[in-house]
């Protein structure tokens, strides 16, 4: 993979890493059952959240 194709990932990674280090943001683990929105998963049936 060429560096030019992953350069944006490197920049975003370091941007977030700096924000976490300065305590501007906090990254937390969210259990799947508690995660009501996830861009990378298929839609779940309504009863799952009722």
What integer is the mean pLDDT of 20-47? 82
Q: What whole-number distance in Å separates Cα of residue 50 and Cα of residue 39?
A: 20
**Distance, CA of 9 to CA of 40 (rounded, Å):** 17
Q: pTM score > 0.85 for this model?
A: no
50 within domain boundaries: no
**pLDDT tier, 25 (very low <50, low <70, confident <90, very high otherwise):** very high
**23 belongs to a structural domain:** yes
How far apart CA 9 and CA 47 sit, in angstroms, is: 37
Total tally of structural domains belonging to the chain: 1
Residue 20 lies in a domain: yes
43 inside domain: no
Q: Summarize the confidence of residues 32-42 as an average pLDDT.
A: 76
Give the domain extent around 14. 1-27
- The residue ranking higher by pLDDT, 46 or 7, is 7
> Does any domain span residue 35?
no
Residue 10: predicted pLDDT:
83
> DSSP secondary-structure letter at 48?
G
Evaluate whether residue 38 is within a structural domain: no
- Predicted confidence band at 2 (pLDDT cuts at 50, 70, 90)? low
Sign of the dihedral defined by the CA atoms of residues 30, 32, 35, 39, in that order: positive
pLDDT score recorded for residue 32: 80
Residue 34 lies in a domain: no
Instruction: Look up residue 22 and give its two tokens.
Output: 């300065």
């Amino acid at each position: 993979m060429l560096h030019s194709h992953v350069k944006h990932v490197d920049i975003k990674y370091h941007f977030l890493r700096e924000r976490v280090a300065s305590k501007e943001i906090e990254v937390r683990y969210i259990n799947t059952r508690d995660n009501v929105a996830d861009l990378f998963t298929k839609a779940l049936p309504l009863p799952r959240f009722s």
